[in-house]
A and B are shown apart, each in its own frame.
Chain A
Amino acid sequence: EAGVAQSPRYKIIEKRQSVAFWCNPISGHATLYWYQQILGQGPKLLIQFQNNGVVDDSQLPKDRFSAERLKGVDSTLKIQPAKLEDSAVYLCASSLDRSTDTQYFGPGTRLTVL
């Protein structure tokens, strides 16, 4: 069974530029999550999708971050414009249905904002 795929693995941009990350969850998983992991901290949930719909985006900085999950499969997370404090690893995860189900994580995208 293929795992959660993410791209790119690494990205370096300058502040005020925009960036997008892509995630392909495990086939058949209805729930998809984006987490932000700042160095030295645990992952923090940014947004959770159930199929096409947003379940929780309470910690997503909506003035600069956006995310979509078209057709209930792939998802894209965008940052525009980026700030220095956005430097982090962005992890995508998926689970079969509810968030109490085991979440499977992708390898992450390491973003450096200069």
Chain B
Amino acid sequence: AQSVTQLGSHVSVSEGALVLLRCNYSSSVPPYLFWYVQYPNQGLQLLLKYTSAATLVKGINGFEAEFKKSETSFHLTKPSAHMSDAAEYFCAVNGYNKLIFGAGTRLAVHP
């Protein structure tokens, strides 16, 4: 069975501060891991994807994530938050031909 746990349903940071969104996964087979972003009243947009190549994955808009097998984690980071980063972020795992999403983390960025 697969599952995803996103720690923190809400995260608030100052503009220019480090963004860290946490994701832990469970999978009995080597997983594919994804981070998606959802802006209000829009569908999900892929930020980045891990497919067992490099453990550090760079995505769009300055985001990156590191796959740590020993910690079963795939945390999302961005060195400097921008107001436009305010959105909901979803971590997802795919190991059995099905994408399983976490509950999401709402990121707020304040001036």
Contacts and interface: CB of A to CB of B under 8 A. Distances in A.
Interface string A67-102: 000000000000000000000000101000011101
A99 B99 CA distance: 7
Contacts of B36: 105
Interface in A1-24: 4
Contacts of A4: 43
Nearest to A106: B43
B13 interface: no
B9, B90, B98 pick with most chain A CB within 10 angstroms? B98
Contacts, number: 55
A49 to B, nearest CB: 13
- Give the interface size class of chain B: 20 to 34
- Give the interface size class of chain A: 20 to 34
A42 B104 contact: yes
Interface in B52-111: 90, 92, 94, 97-104
A44 B92 CA distance: 11
A51 interface: no
8 contacts: A41-B104, A42-B102, A45-B98, A56-B97, A99-B98, A105-B45, A108-B42, A108-B43
A48 B98 contact: yes
A105 B43 contact: yes
